[in-house]
Amino acid sequence: MKILVTGKNGQVGFELQRALGPLGEVVAVAHAECDLADADAIRALVRRIAPGVIVNPAAYTAVDKAEADQVTAFAVNAEAPRVLGEEGARLGALVVHYSTDYVFNGTKDGAYAESDTPDPQSVYGRSKHEGEVALAQATARHLILRTSWVVGAHGGNFAKTMLRLAGERERLSVVADQFGAPTSAALLADLTAQLVRQHQREGGENFPYGTYHVAASGETNWHEYARFVIGEALAAGKPLKATPDAVAPLTTDQYPTPARRPANSRLDTTRFCDTFGLRLPHWQEGLRHVLQQIF
């Protein structure tokens, strides 16, 4: 069986090539090989490969840039999932797609469940939500995995940015009133492989398709996240100018950005764990593994 993976150079796409390798012939493509803003290119790619599984981690993730580049953001995040869904339906393929906590407004007190009504507050969030809806309408054989704060050893992310800044500056300031769970790209890839394997084993007729929240357990904020990363680096002997105590907390109002970020990015993963019988480790566990690879 062929497994098509988009965004092969992204954090999750990179790890998926490893995790899915034992399950079939993985055909991974980058932007240069298929521009997801080009619907015709997507159709041509899928029809040429004829995969049994389509996994789509690729996305327009420049959250602030999207505010001024709505056309591209919606083409990649909303239209591309629809096209992949339509082509997947034609082939009878499973389509796995990743979405985000940004589909919610971030004002809920507790963790967001799949039953909570999306209310995105940014172009990025709206485009990702439209992608969810479009994919679900295009094919019943879909898995939409909403996640948050992805971090991996490959590609750019918050942890790498904090390590770079801590190596350049003696003091840092980081937002402390936005909460979520850093989620390892490797964990997402491994979980995806488990779901694909179950689909292969059980067949598609009784498989529990749908939308699931998938994020590491526990919670933190960006400020404590930065302090943790710097502390781990110093413990590993990395020469940094800043220490955890030199990271000052900021409010969101003190750090304005073009796109509005959710104050609450916590996702309730009960449905996922109960449905598939899988455990989601604590965010520190996954992050330590990522940092060990980065170091």
124 as an active site residue: the answer is yes
Which H or E element spans position 225? helix 222-235
What is the spatial distance between Cα 3 and Cα 78, in angstroms, rounded to a whole number?
21
Token match 């469940």: residue? 113
Question: Alpha-carbon distance 28 to 49, whole Å?
Answer: 11
What is the spatial distance between Cα 233 and Cα 51, in angstroms, rounded to a whole number? Answer: 41
Helices (H), 36-157: 39-49, 63-66, 70-74, 80-91, 123-138
State how far the Cα of 97 lies from the Cα of 276, in Å rounded to an integer. Answer: 17
Q: Are 253 and 185 in contact (CB under 8 A)?
A: no
Of 102, 124, 212, 225, which residue is the catalytic one? 124
Give the position of tokens 């015709």: 40
129, two tokens: 């939500």
By the 8 A CB rule, do 196 and 3 touch? Answer: yes
The residue type of 76 is V
* Active-site amino acid positions: 124
